[in-house]
Amino acid sequence: MPRVLDGVAIAAAIQQEVAGEVRALAGRGIRPGLAAVLVGSVAASEIYVRSKVQSCASLGIFSDLITRPETVTTAEMLDLIASLNARDEIDGILIQLPLPAQVDTKALLDAVSPAKDVDGFHPVNAGRLLAGRPSLAPCTPAGILEILQRSGIPIAGQHAVVVGRSDIVGKPAAMLLLHHNATVTICHSKTRDLGAMTRQADILVAAIGRAGFITTEMVKPGATIIDVGMNRITDPAEFARFFAGDARREAAFAKRGSVLVGDVHPKAFERAGAYTPVPGGVGPLTIAMLMANTVRAAKMRRGL
């Protein structure tokens, strides 16, 4: 039986460590602070931001939730970011994506001070990551490394194949794995004979944003699979393609009308040596690493 890598348990351990760091900083009169910026009323974004604010409260991190209407302009948002950059009690700035079409997302992310860029999206922090210098790394890729390391999965000398080349997950995950001495191949939707590449992977990171894209025949027996995907399935025919015969999932689908599936077909996990489930794998690590980055930013800004 393949080993399930429990992201919930690993995230809880990290949050405990972060809480200890927050208490230590409090002894020096320092309280890390996170500003969360939410635009409009997208239900999923509201849920994500609320969970981040709740995590701050549970760990003793100061948080400031700032909302702006759907009609906000780029200029107004840039003014807001400038004000947050200037606030000394704010160590991290989180801009919840996606933003409305009229807002220049790239300009906004570039306006965040690199010292407060707890999402690790700023070009300065991306460059530091590429160069292997201490920086604020994107939360999901950093969480992937934590899962592997804390689960005792070897990285050095292993062939890691990353499927997906986004600036948020694929590219930084590849760089982090490379810095930990893996041999890394980056693949994407235009890769020729993708299965021939993925079948070489000792560590397979699926981050392409397509439900069940990685199938059983694409997996090397015994590989470690890190499934970053989070795709909501509402179509009964599509549900049957992934979960036919799974009584537990069928009951959940009947009750809620939807179910989550990753970028890896559930049957493919049977071929793995270890894997992250969806949900309960990589997802919980993203918030845990955001909290860790906020404390890290607080320390770095004060030269600690």
**Which one-letter amino acid corresponds to residue 258?**
S
Catalytic (active site) residue 167: no
Catalytic (active site) residue 119: yes
- Catalytically annotated residue among 91, 116, 117, 119: 119
- Catalytically annotated residue among 91, 96, 171, 227: 96
Give the whole-angstrom CA distance, residue 148 versus residue 168: 19
Contact assessment for residue 140 and residue 169, using Cβ atoms and an 8 Å cutoff: yes
Give the whole-angstrom CA distance, residue 155 versus residue 149: 8
Rounded to 5°, angle at Cα 20 from 84 and 283: 70
**Which one-letter amino acid corresponds to residue 17?**
E
| Angle, helices 283-301/7-26, rounded to nearest 10 degrees | 20
Rounded to 5°, angle at Cα 128 from 123 and 129: 95
- Catalytically annotated residue among 52, 116, 171, 220: 52
Catalytic (active site) residue 15: no
Given the DSSP bridges, would you call strands 231-233 and 259-261 parallel, antiparallel or unpaired? antiparallel
Mapped to the 3 state alphabet, what secondary structure does 31-95 carry? CCEEEEEEECCCHHHHHHHHHHHHHHHHHCCEEEEEEECCCCCHHHHHHHHHHHHHCCCCCEEEE
Beta strands (DSSP E) in the chain are 3-4, 33-39, 62-68, 92-95, 159-163, 183-187, 203-206, 224-227, 231-233, 259-261, 274-275
Give the whole-angstrom CA distance, residue 169 versus residue 126: 12
Rounded to 5°, angle at Cα 286 from 283 and 289: 145
The residues annotated with a catalytic role in the active site are 52, 96, 119
